[in-house]
Structure 1
Amino acid sequence: MELAHQPEVVTLGCRLNIAESETIRGMIAGRDMVVVNSCAVTNAAVKETRSAIRRARRRRPGAEIVVTGCAAEMDPTGFTAMPEVSRIVGNFDKLAPAAWGATAMPSPVFAGHARAFVEVQNGCDHRCTFCAIPFGRGPSRSVPAGAVIERIAMLVAGGHREVVLTGVDVTSYGGDLPGAPSLGSLVERILVHVPALERLRLSSLDSVEIDERLLEALTQEPRVMPHVHLSLQAGDDLILKRMKRRHARADAIALVARLKAARPDIAIGADLIAGFPTEDEAMFTQTLAIVAECDIVHAHVFSYSPRAGTPAARMPPVAPMVVRERAARLRAAADAHRGAWLASLIGSEQSVLVERSGDRGHAANFAEVRLTAPAPPGSIQRVRIACATDTYLEGICV
């Protein structure tokens, strides 16, 4: 088959999209098709989706261009009107074999990827005032534990040594299933029933939904990676209330203190928004300070952008120039904190999952590590850290 006629999947946005893209890839085998799995978390994400569609048409002038994902779900008319687009597939049909002309849904294989992503939950029952994703993903829905375990077992048998559990609101897992099993109980079952799985990682967690069972798994299970990414969004209580978040500033700080006390090497990540409507300088300063107070070393900083139909879009806005300036200050603070953390790891030994290039990977704490000599992709190496930059570590396999 000519390369130009091989199917292609372009993935934007979250880890859940990555997991779904691999399933889609298996259903379009043999087709001259490009699938753009879109994102709508910000206006910039929608703009990037449109750019990806145009690039795909220039690259593959004869291919069928199919758009799926949240951006297509939320604005089907707009994307259908693009001359580059052949058709769209809504989020609720994106894993249906019939939507792709397939007879069955294959198991994703994540060929060439060091880690595999497994969807355990989709949708969201909460309505944060800034977020449009519930409109694109619908209500929370959980994958039964048996199906999750079966998929992970197949991935491990296929050579994957690390699996990431993904979803839109992963910590709400199980509320819609018989007996309402928790995410913590799912993690326990995975570890028991897939003993060959070496590394388990969780995607973004809502701090208010981390119960004692999940906390114990995160801090006591050596096969669960010492890396927690929290959906914090802000560090000021009034802004959190206006966002309709369910935690307070003190709750986030207390949770991180408990995590650190039980597992000192745990690395904290967080999503943070700069320039939310009504945010003044004092409120922003509270978010700026929480980087250090919660020891956030993996920060995802977003400039607030209004999403049509959300309550926050009707709130008094912060001037765009101020939003950009605050986002830059927040990123600078997060980068400085991350740099100091990386420097503190010089001389340590880290367990690194080597990625496809063979010359880099990620440690258990999700620090990026670059190797002085290539190692087999997909292998887990003990690496002695020799030096650090502001963004990654360098080391040698031992």
Structure 2
Amino acid sequence: MTTEVVTFGCRLNAYESEVIREKALSAGLTNAAIFNTCAVTAEAERQARQAIRKYRRENPDAKIIVTGCSAQISPETYSKMPEVDQILGNREKMEEKYFLPLPDHERVIVNDIMFIKETAEHLIAGFDGKARGFIQVQNGCNHRCTFCTIPYGRGNSRSVPLWVIVDQTRLLLEKGFKEKPAKVKTFFRKGIAGAWKDEMPEDLVKQICTDHAE
């Protein structure tokens, strides 16, 4: 049995789930399910717990790993669930070593995400079973809005290096993910304007659009 990645929440989670899938495959993880959770609403967290319990009933011998924002913010919630074998934080889920089938892994590996100053530089080949692709341009948030959990699950704001954004965009377009160039440009602007202030890489964005214009 191969490893299944179950995604809850935002497009960034969808992107990271593809990274997780590739890392788990490279690590040789089999007969497992990785739940990439969301913490934006209580309902999203409830659905994740429900899905975990259902998966365990249907797959009693599989390994269950829980990660994502809910696991980062409330690891104790999942550590109390007998269905869960391992809990990984949002930083740890992006590292292959935590998916290696080693017997000496700690059950809960969730570190303080507020000290993270950079984004992981991963390139993915595509999105399993999906026609649309997403590109990570930024992670985290510096604001502390009253009812928002994002900073506590994602850490402070940090941008993806420009060359990674460009290479990932080109790779997905070459793989057949035909997002319109204008939308790509808008996505770039919304994603990095806040973190990079006024330093917009218009020339490189235009080059991507020109190279792959229909």
Please indicate the TM-score interval, normalised by the length of the shorter structure. Answer: 0.7 to 0.9
- Give the aligned residue type for 2:192: Y
Report the Cα offset of residue 111 of structure 1: 3.2
| Separation of aligned partners in 2, 1:22 and 1:53 | 19
Given the alignment of the two structures, is residue 159 of structure 1 paired with residue 161 of structure 2, yes or no?
Answer: no
Residue aligning to 1:88: 87
Distance 2:52 2:212 in 1: 37
1:25 aligns with 2:21: yes
Structure with greater proportional helix content: 2
Question: SS in structure 1 opposite 2:133?
Answer: strand
Partner of 1:10: helix, strand, or coil? strand
Alpha-carbon distance, 1:101 to partner: 2.6
Counterpart for residue 57 of structure 1: 56
- Whole-Å Cα distance in 2 between the matches of residues 54 and 196 of structure 1? 47
Are the counterparts in 2 of residues 140 and 172 from structure 1 also a CA contact under 8 Å? no
Match of 1:362 in 2: none
The two structures, once aligned, show a CA RMSD in angstroms of 2.6
The Cα of 1:127 is off from its aligned counterpart by 1.3
What is the CA–CA distance in structure 2 between the aligned matches of 1:93 and 1:108, rounded to whole Å? Answer: 21
Check 1:129–1:150 CA distance in 2 against 1; reply closer, same or farther (3 A cut). same
Residue from 78, 87, 111 that aligns with 2:128? 111
How far, CA to CA, are the matches of 1:122 and 1:45 in structure 2?
20
Does the aligned pair in 1 maintain the 2:125–2:175 contact within 8 Å?
Answer: no
1:181, distance to aligned residue in structure 2 (A)? 5.2
Q: Is the 8 A contact 1:41 1:132 kept in 2?
A: yes
Q: 2:145 aligns with which of 128, 140, 145?
A: 128
SS of the equivalent of 2:177 reads coil
Give the Cα separation in 1 of the matches to 2:144 and 2:205: 30
Q: Distance in 1 between matches of 2:174 and 2:2?
A: 27
Partner of 1:37: 36
Q: Do the aligned residues in 2 keep the contact of 1:173 with 1:182 (CA within 8 Å)?
A: no
Equivalence for 2:73: 74
Contact residue 26 and residue 106 of structure 1 kept, 8 A: no
Q: Deviations over 1:205-263 (max 9, x none)?
A: xxxxxxxxxxxxxxxxxxxxxxxxxxxxxxxxxxxxxxxxxxxxxxxxxxxxxxxxxxx
TM-score (norm 1): 0.43
Q: Taking structure 1 as reference, are residues 113 and 172 closer, same or farther at Cα in structure 2, changes over 3 Å only?
A: closer
Higher relative contact order (CA 8 A, sep 6+): 2
Code of the aligned partner of 1:88: I
Q: Which amino acid aligns with 1:129?
A: T
| 2:4–2:32 contact (8 Å) kept in structure 1 | yes
How many angstroms apart in 2 are the aligned matches of 1:14 and 1:188?
A: 29
Give the Å deviation of 1:109.
Answer: 1.8
Quick one: structure 1 residues 186 and 16, their matched pair in 2 at CA, closer, same or farther if it must change by over 3 Å? Answer: farther
Residue 139 of structure 1 corresponds to: 156
Taking the aligned partners of 2:59 and 2:194, their CA distance within structure 1 comes to: 43
Separation in structure 2 between the aligned mates of residue 19 and residue 98 of structure 1, nearest angstrom: 19
Counterpart check, 1:15 vs 2:11: yes
Inter-CA distance 132–59: structure 2 relative to 1 (3 Å threshold): same
Is 1:195 equivalent to 2:210 in the alignment? yes
Q: State the partner residue of 1:295.
A: none
Residues in 2 aligned to 1:190 and 1:88: alpha-carbon distance in whole angstroms: 38
The separation in 2 between residues aligned to 1:121 and 1:74, in whole angstroms, is 20
How far apart in 1 are the matches of 2:131 and 2:198? 27
Q: CA deviation at 1:171?
A: 3.7
**Higher share of residues assigned strand:** 1
Task: Report % sequence identity.
Answer: 40
Aligned partners of 1:50, 1:125: CA distance in 2, in Å? 29
Number of equivalences: 186
CA distance in structure 1 between the aligned counterparts of 2:205 and 2:99, rounded to whole angstroms: 31
Larger-gyration structure (1/2): 1
